[in-house]
Structure 1
Amino acid sequence: MKYDVKAFELLSNEEIADGIFDMRVKNDELAPLAKCGQFAHVYVPSKTLRRPISVCDSENGVLRLVYQVKGEGTKIMSQMKKGESVDILAPLGNGFNIEQGKRYCLIGGGIGVPPMLYTAKQTENPLVITGFRNKDLIILQDDFKNAGAELVLTTDDGSAGVHGFVTDVLKEKINEVDEVCACGPTPMLKAIAQVCKEFNKPCQISLEERMACGIGACLVCAVKVRKNGEEIMQHVCKNGPVFNAEEVVF
């Protein structure tokens, strides 16, 4: 895994939904190295710890990072202006393993939707299922359509798209795909893993955990996995964030 710390030029940083921002930063050396499912560690002025943000897209030296304002750090990020220099450690982690010739179902829930866009661009005719709490939080629908995806939108409250959960759609359409990749809240990932096990479909999941160093040195983002019949601890930032769903101990 090759990564480095570089200054990126901030090209834009716009709010695209309630509290959700679309940041685009340019660095011709590091941006092209990013693979789908990896993340960037963004330095925030006045804060000790960097903020891990999934790679939403990477094209022509531009890294696209879509994030949600959840605390002081991301609030400061949302106030950064075009032309500023952004200190970023990237690309980090192990992403999705995409095999040519397979049809994938890509599932994103909430702020777990952005990394599925770059993944969709690496596949042929993917089925993409996106889930949001309500219509005010919906993002990236046109981007997925432009990427050639078969797109299904769900909302918990029925204010847009299918009224229900992403797993409701998955159960209906899982036999149309060869493998599932997902990112989102842990309860959603657990439910997806159970459906895939029931239908005997391979499943890769991208876990969300609090991080500090981002490179596996501080041991903050530990998660329990099952390897060779034994339960061991691995780290989301270094061993993941993408894991085989069957190995994760929820």
Structure 2
Amino acid sequence: MPIQQICTVVEKTWLSHDAVYMVLEAGDMVRQTFRGPGQFVHIKCGSSRLLRRPISVSACMEDSPEDLLSLVFESRGEGTEWLANRAVGDKLDVLGLLGNGFDVDWEGRYLLVGGGIGVPPLRGCAQCAQESDAILGFRSADKTLLIDEFRAECGSVQIATDDGSLGYHGFVDALVRKTLEQDRDYTAVLACGPKPMLKNVAKVAKEFGVPCQVSLEERMACGVGACLGCATPMADGTMKHVCKDGPVFRAEEVDWNA
């Protein structure tokens, strides 16, 4: 059951002109509600905005006297702009941890595939698995996030950029294919990013017989499955809520043609 907590900002860094790294003290939120890397929190962004903003958790840890959450997000609208302008010591009204995360076994071996702002939630996967490799995609070199952290926590890290300004010139699914052609001995592919990217990565993983889990992104209002705003079609004809049933699903569950 998610809890509502007044959290304190204890660290904040601008990673680029629009991306923020923020660490919160969160009471015992992690101890009470952690179910796997890839969950999110719902943050009240100022008194004048009715709807909370869903922010993926990059990493979290049980700590004393208060648990810690690290968030990485982009300032894209009024709500996230307000959040990005909070300072160390400010208080935030946070609901979490919400949703279901990736199914990660410490003894497993994982290929982490992220695109853009979908990269940060995979850091928790790297910390929860004994062995992982990462393929991270960005629009350009100036949009990269957390590369040094992934290099410290993964066996190998490959970078792709849309414009070729860093690493491979192209999309991450091409690197996934190249990697699995050489080594398909992974417990699973864990992917987070734009839906077209997820569709292509899931297709490649299926070709090589490697299980794939994907984290979907949808607009949401309530964050707990009550408003139906984030309903998404499944392959079996049903509808599931990204906020409550996800955001992480097995790739074969999703209707990629919807």
Same fold (TM over 0.5): yes
Unmatched 5+ residue regions in structure 1? none
* Other structure's SS at 1:80 match: coil
Identity %: 42
Q: Using the TM superposition, give the Cα deviation of residue 232 of structure 1 relative to its aligned residue in structure 2, in angstroms.
A: 0.5
How much does 1:148 deviate? Answer: 3.5
2:153 matches 1:152 = no
- Selected match of 2:192 from 150, 172, 183: 183
Secondary structure in 2 aligned to 1:189? helix
- Please list every run of 5 or more consecutive structure 2 residues that lacks an aligned counterpart in the other structure: none
Distance 2:68 2:107 in 1: 28
Aligned match of 2:70: 64
Cα offset, 1:176, TM superposition = 4.2
Q: Which residue of 1 aligns with 2:3?
A: 4
CA–CA distance in structure 2, aligned partners of residues 53 and 176 of structure 1: 32
Q: Is the 8 A contact 1:42 1:89 kept in 2?
A: yes
Are 1:223 and 2:249 an aligned pair?
Answer: no
CA distance in 1 between counterparts of 2:223 and 2:205 reads: 29
Paired positions, count: 246
Contact (CA 8 Å) 2:105, 2:128: kept in 1 or not?
Answer: no
2:175 counterpart of 1:169 = yes
Deviation digits for residues 138-162 of structure 1 (CA, Å, limit 9, x no counterpart): 0101111222431111111110111
Residue in structure 1 matched with residue 21 of structure 2 by the alignment: 22
Give matches, 1:1-250, under 5 Å. Answer: 2-32=1-31, 33-34=33-34, 35-45=36-46, 46-59=48-61, 60=63, 61-174=67-180, 175-226=184-235, 230-250=236-256
In structure 2, C-alpha distance between the alignment counterparts of 1:102 and 1:6, rounded to whole Å: 33
Whole-Å separation in 2 of the counterparts to 1:66 and 1:153: 18
1:10, distance to aligned residue in structure 2 (A) = 0.8
Cα offsets for 1:75-110 (capped at 9, x unmatched):
111111111110000000010001243211011100
SS in 2 for 1:36: coil
1:179 maps to a residue whose letter is A
- Is this contact kept in 2: 1:145–1:151, CA < 8 A? yes
Secondary structure, in 3 states, of the residue corresponding to 2:226?
A: coil
Q: CA RMSD in A?
A: 1.2
Q: Distance in 1 between matches of 2:220 and 2:94?
A: 15
Shift of residue 179, structure 1, vs aligned partner: 1.1
Q: Is the contact made by 2:8 and 2:25 (CA closer than 8 Å) also made in structure 1?
A: yes
In 1: Cα distance, 2:15 partner to 2:185 partner: 32
TM-score by length of 1: 0.95
The separation in 2 between residues aligned to 1:200 and 1:152, in whole angstroms, is 21
| Alpha-carbon distance in 2 for matches of 1:155, 1:179 | 23
